[in-house]
A and B are shown apart, each in its own frame.
Chain A
Amino acid sequence: MKLSIYQVAYKNLLRRKVRTSLTILGIVISTWVFVTLLGFNHGYENSLNENIEGMGFQIVLTAKGCPYEAATLMLQGGTGLRYMPENLVRSVIDKPQVERATPMIMHAEFDPNRGETGGTTIYLGIDAASYPPMKPYLAFSQGTWFASDAENQVVLGYEVAELEQREAGDLMLLPGTTEEYEVVGVLKRTGNQDDGMIYMPLFAAQKTFNREGELTMLGMRLVPEIDQAAFEEELYQLPDVQVVSMAQVKNTIMGLVSSAKAIVLSVACIAFLIAIFGVVNTVLMSVFERYQEIGILKSMGALPGDIFKMVFIETTILCAFGGLLGIGFSWIFSGMSELAVRYFLPFSPSGKLIIINGSTALFSFIAIACIGMLGSVYPAWRAASVRPLESIRNE
């Protein structure tokens, strides 16, 4: 029976099943970590961009305070809110640089009847005429927006509606109030902060929460050709307000997580290198063990090139197989990895945090295969350099 060099390499690996399996396991684990982290790098930024785009605003004007508090307020809703005078905000809306603007008031109310320790419900008072055009992705599963001057009507985000078991036409008793509110619409799931909001008409929210003449935020889209930095500078001159651009928010959050990402990526690279050295060590060991066998092969006519190729193929098979399995595992368990990331990260945007697409998988596979092939050069060279007579005599 004539065996090709590929078959010989494959059979050599099968002869030492435990060692081969353990080597592959090392590659699988390091590839898994490596691919997951690459997927996280891609997914986190993508989700953050989507969340920020989902805001629908380029610039948000809020009352003066900590910029991180403002960022949290915008992305997740917040407590301990500060307010701006409404007339000041209206003067900004009239500026020629502003293409669209929508004023909002946010209110967080403690609900003592939620669980043992109570919970917080977030309300967003909005202008029904200017808010929906800035959030065109908001769609209804039931009902529609309230009229701007409607009283005692609310629209619910998807998660609130599920938690409260409300449908369009149902009544609600809002925590902190004694009045009944009619649910006029239930939004479809968006996957971002909108799902957790209870929307009310702006003036009704101001009245209900005793905040007449006050606003929490002004969301703006600017005329495309204007200088955004100059306009921001102009807004900074206003008393007791702060200007937060979406680009700033993104940079702030990316800054917070970048150091953590760098550390984790370094750990992944080290794990990757350890796995590769493990492969080199395993292959080298197997070359030394087969010293006599290689000598016999050469005495039977195998050329140094054939021996080099055989060892090279063995290593490539190990790396390729381990790499493929690792990529597969990272894809299958990306959901669990995402849960772990969400648990440990201080802020994680909604949406998919770990995105393992074809290019990530291909890049990882090529990287693993190339490093494996590079690592196989020395053991293959040692095997190719075996002198037949010397090897047989040594035994």
Chain B
Amino acid sequence: MKKKLLFAALLLGFAAQLSAAVGCDLKDPDRDVKRFFPGSTGYKTAYKSIDKLGGKELLQTVEARLGDKFTGLYETIDVPYTLYTVLKGKETIGYIHGINQKGQYGGLQVFLAYNPQGIISDFYYQKLTSRNAKAMTAPGFAAMFKGLSFADFKDYDPIKHTGIPAGITGEGDDFYATLRAVKKNFILVDIFVFGGKGRQS
């Protein structure tokens, strides 16, 4: 126990001195968590990375499930992902997780709120640069994703753009980038929360 405490203290001290790849945090977690989960009384924040959880082997698993390789300067094995576990008293009432995704004209930050079974309860672009921004930030667009689970996205192919879940409509590079971000988000939350066995509903 003493060793664990000392390690945690050392890690906390050093963590602030390190700089790594860019992650995807909520800009105002207090406000955003309340917006996604109005009944929440608090939340816990955890930082995860593929590198630390399973290294190259896990990366290969994620890429295989995603159906696409991690590419570019910013989609790397050491990207820190922020997982918000939302609480009502001591009970977990959901999770929030965001993904940085390269879009046609800029970065997209796609946040998904999940219920405890891993079903999407809300969808949110924290950042979006797109010619279709108006349509993609309209309430109807976010509503299409509500109620979907990983099972709905399992067959989506981010390269060929096939297997789009029923009820999801749109077009253009940024729309497909969004679908890739949603699928990647599902896979990572499955690993971070549900043990990576695809056990979500």
A residues near B, CB below 8 A?
A: 111, 113-116, 119, 141-142, 161-167, 171-173, 175, 180, 186, 332-336, 338-339
Assuming the A-B contacts A115-B27, A162-B22, are A333 and B13 also in contact, with contact meaning beta carbons closer than 8 angstroms in the complex? yes
Min C-beta distance of B17 to chain A, whole Å: 4
Provide the bound-state CA to CA distance between A111 and B74, in Å. 22
Enumerate 11 A-B pairs (CB-CB under 8 Å) in ascending A order. A116-B27, A116-B35, A162-B107, A165-B101, A165-B102, A165-B103, A166-B106, A180-B105, A332-B10, A332-B13, A335-B14
Cβ-based interface call for B72 (8 A): yes
Whether B13 pairs with A162 at a CB distance below 8 angstroms is no
Provide the bound-state CA to CA distance between A166 and B75, in Å. 11
Min C-beta distance of A139 to chain B, whole Å: 15
Question: CB within 8 A of B133: which of A113, A116, A166?
Answer: A113
Assuming the A-B contacts A113-B128, A173-B106, are A336 and B72 also in contact, with contact meaning beta carbons closer than 8 angstroms in the complex? no
Assuming the A-B contacts A115-B126, A172-B129, are A165 and B106 also in contact, with contact meaning beta carbons closer than 8 angstroms in the complex? yes
Assuming the A-B contacts A113-B129, A163-B22, are A335 and B16 also in contact, with contact meaning beta carbons closer than 8 angstroms in the complex? yes
Chain B residues with Cβ below 8 Å from A164 are 106-107, 129
Whether A339 pairs with B16 at a CB distance below 8 angstroms is yes
Chain B residues with Cβ below 8 Å from A186 are 73
Cβ-based interface call for B12 (8 A): yes
Chain B residues with Cβ below 8 Å from A162 are 22, 74, 107
Provide the bound-state CA to CA distance between A186 and B107, in Å. 15
- Nearest chain-A residue to B124 (Cβ)? A116
Whether B129 pairs with A173 at a CB distance below 8 angstroms is yes
Whether A172 pairs with B106 at a CB distance below 8 angstroms is yes
- Nearest chain-A residue to B100 (Cβ)? A165
Min C-beta distance of B156 to chain A, whole Å: 20
Whether B16 pairs with A338 at a CB distance below 8 angstroms is yes
Provide the bound-state CA to CA distance between A339 and B17, in Å. 10
Question: CB within 8 A of B74: which of A165, A172, A336, A338?
Answer: A165
Min C-beta distance of B109 to chain A, whole Å: 8
Question: CB within 8 A of A336: which of B12, B103, B127?
Answer: B12
Assuming the A-B contacts A165-B72, A165-B106, are A115 and B127 also in contact, with contact meaning beta carbons closer than 8 angstroms in the complex? yes
Assuming the A-B contacts A113-B127, A175-B129, A335-B13, are A167 and B72 also in contact, with contact meaning beta carbons closer than 8 angstroms in the complex? yes
Closest 6 CB pairs of A and B: A335-B16, A173-B105, A165-B107, A335-B17, A165-B102, A332-B13
* Residue among B18, B35, B104 with most chain A CB within 10 A: B104
Q: Which of the four size classes fits the interface of chain B?
A: 35 or more
**Majority secondary structure, A binding face:** mixed
Question: CB within 8 A of A113: which of B31, B73, B125?
Answer: B125
Chain A residues with Cβ below 8 Å from B17 are 334-335
Provide the bound-state CA to CA distance between A332 and B28, in Å. 28
Provide the bound-state CA to CA distance between A183 and B101, in Å. 17
Whether B127 pairs with A114 at a CB distance below 8 angstroms is yes
Min C-beta distance of B182 to chain A, whole Å: 16
Task: Indicate with 1 or 0, residue by residue over B36-78, a CB within 8 angstroms of chain A CB atoms.
Answer: 0000000000000000000000000000000000001111000
Provide the bound-state CA to CA distance between A188 and B106, in Å. 19
Cβ-based interface call for B149 (8 A): no
Chain B residues with Cβ below 8 Å from A173 are 104-106, 129-131
Whether A163 pairs with B104 at a CB distance below 8 angstroms is no
Provide the bound-state CA to CA distance between A182 and B108, in Å. 18
A165-B72, A165-B75, A334-B13 are known; give 7 further A-B pairs, CB within 8 A: A115-B127, A164-B106, A167-B72, A173-B104, A173-B131, A332-B14, A336-B13
Provide the bound-state CA to CA distance between A116 and B125, in Å. 9
Cβ-based interface call for B137 (8 A): yes
Provide the bound-state CA to CA distance between A26 and B14, in Å. 24
**Interface residues in B105-157 (C-beta closer than 8 Å to A):** 105-108, 125-131, 133, 137
Cβ-based interface call for B5 (8 A): no
Chain A residues with Cβ below 8 Å from B103 are 165
- Nearest chain-B residue to A186 (Cβ)? B73
Min C-beta distance of A320 to chain B, whole Å: 22
Chain A residues with Cβ below 8 Å from B12 are 333, 336
Provide the bound-state CA to CA distance between A171 and B173, in Å. 12
Min C-beta distance of A317 to chain B, whole Å: 23
Chain B residues with Cβ below 8 Å from A165 are 72, 74-75, 100-103, 106-108
Provide the bound-state CA to CA distance between A166 and B32, in Å. 27
Provide the bound-state CA to CA distance between A189 and B100, in Å. 19
Provide the bound-state CA to CA distance between A162 and B126, in Å. 15
Question: CB within 8 A of A171: which of B13, B22, B105?
Answer: B105
Provide the bound-state CA to CA distance between A186 and B13, in Å. 31
Cβ-based interface call for B1 (8 A): no
* Residue among A115, A171, A334 with most chain B CB within 10 A: A115
Provide the bound-state CA to CA distance between A214 and B29, in Å. 41
Cβ-based interface call for B15 (8 A): yes
Provide the bound-state CA to CA distance between A163 and B15, in Å. 21
Provide the bound-state CA to CA distance between A180 and B129, in Å. 12
Chain A residues with Cβ below 8 Å from B106 are 164-166, 172-173
Chain B residues with Cβ below 8 Å from A339 are 16
Min C-beta distance of B168 to chain A, whole Å: 20
Provide the bound-state CA to CA distance between A113 and B136, in Å. 10
Provide the bound-state CA to CA distance between A333 and B104, in Å. 41
Chain B residues with Cβ below 8 Å from A334 are 13, 17
